[in-house]
């Protein structure tokens, strides 16, 4: 086996090991999971997630997922909690402790402090006989047969299972709360993801020039308008009403078909019933429409009024595509 084959073999084995463990989580789901979900859903406080080592890192990611999907959450490192940070936990908060063994010393010390405060405790653990599982109000089983590490030591499969269990909780809560794409946009205003959720055609087409010719305009005028407005297209209007569109592709086809173009007008080469979009449509929907129709521009119509053009380059520049 050469080096590349060896590398691929190890990678496949790792993915297969972890994939099998994740699939097995389905069989471990029970009423404990449902109870934990309902407990968090009904809570008037936040979710405080705690752990140590690699489980702490997974906990921080679960907190991020909760927060971005409408469940207020905060991370508290278990070691810091027993050295002054326990004040992070407020009345009505639900605490999630993550530990593969469920017997980590810091977690064992933290459990009675959580219970003393009257907070509900959810365990995510691979050991249902552990102190954590037995003391928790709800215990979510993330047992894995083995780590992907060939020495069965480095937390790999077990931390993946913890993360997936956290995702399952977050998505259950999201759906039960009726958390919509509009809600999601409120929590993700930045970057291309946010723009996909809130940016509308009205936000981006205004900086473009507004190409327009009359239906009786000579072809030379049409070509000049397309060239000057630099959008590869012009709207064709009659008495102020949109009646067609001429693209640079129409110009090329016209030149292939006609030797003498001096007598031609916009009416002779335009496409009637052009594809349009409303200013209040999401930019991502405009992009999908362009891709579906195999075009690069849409004429923007505010009711019956032609107001401009949105170009695929606008969407690229905004990071939508």
Q: Which residues are annotated as a binding site?
A: 77
- Distance between CA atoms of 320 and 196, rounded to whole angstroms? 6
- Distance between CA atoms of 92 and 5, rounded to whole angstroms? 54
In contact, 81 and 98? CB cutoff 8 Å? no
CB proximity list for 28: less than 8 A, separation 6 or greater: 141, 142, 143
Burial class (CB in 10 A: 0-12, 13-18, 19+), 224: middle
Q: H/E element holding 113? A: helix 105-116
- Distance between CA atoms of 251 and 229, rounded to whole angstroms? 15
- Cα–Cα separations (whole angstroms), residue 22 to 156, 169, 175: 12, 15, 21
Tally of CB atoms within 10 A around 286: 25
User: E strands within 14-132?
Assistant: 47-51, 73-77, 94-99, 120-125
List the binding residues for Zn(2+). 77
- Distance between CA atoms of 166 and 162, rounded to whole angstroms? 6
CA angle 316, 320, 321 (to 5 degrees): 60
CB proximity list for 153: less than 8 A, separation 6 or greater: 147
């Amino acid at each position: 086996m050469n080096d590349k084959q060896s590398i691929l073999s190890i990678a496949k084995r790792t993915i297969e090991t972890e994939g099998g463990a994740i699939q097995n989580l389905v069989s471990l789901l029970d009423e404990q999971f449902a109870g934990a979900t309902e407990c968090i859903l009904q809570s008037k406080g936040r979710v405080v997630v705690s752990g140590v080592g690699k489980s702490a890192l997974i906990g921080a990611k679960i907190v991020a997922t909760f927060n971005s999907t409408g469940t207020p959450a905060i991370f508290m490192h278990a070691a810091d909690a027993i050295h002054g940070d326990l004040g992070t936990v407020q009345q009505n908060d639900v605490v999630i402790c993550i530990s593969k063994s469920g017997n980590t010393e810091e977690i064992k010390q933290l459990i009675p402090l959580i219970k003393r405060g009257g907070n509900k405790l959810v365990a995510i653990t691979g050991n249902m006989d552990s102190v954590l599982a037995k003391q928790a109000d709800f215990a979510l089983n993330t047992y894995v047969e083995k780590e992907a590490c060939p020495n069965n030591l480095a937390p790999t499969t077990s931390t993946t299972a913890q993360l997936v269990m956290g995702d399952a909780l977050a998505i259950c809560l999201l759906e039960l709360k009726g958390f919509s794409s509009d809600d999601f946009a409120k929590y993700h205003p930045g970057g291309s993801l946010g723009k996909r959720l809130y940016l509308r055609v009205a936000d981006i087409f205004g900086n473009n020039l507004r190409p327009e010719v009359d239906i009786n305009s000579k072809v030379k005028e049409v070509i000049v308008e397309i060239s000057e407005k630099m959008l590869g297209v012009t709207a064709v209007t009659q008495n102020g009403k949109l009646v067609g569109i001429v693209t640079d592709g129409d110009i090329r086809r016209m030149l292939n078909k006609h030797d003498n173009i001096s007598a031609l007008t916009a009416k002779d080469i335009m496409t009637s019933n052009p594809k349009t979009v409303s200013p209040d449509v999401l930019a991502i929907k405009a992009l999908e429409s362009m891709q579906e129709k195999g075009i690069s521009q849409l004429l923007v119509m505010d009711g019956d009024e032609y107001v401009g053009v949105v170009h695929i380059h606008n969407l690229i520049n905004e990071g939508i595509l």
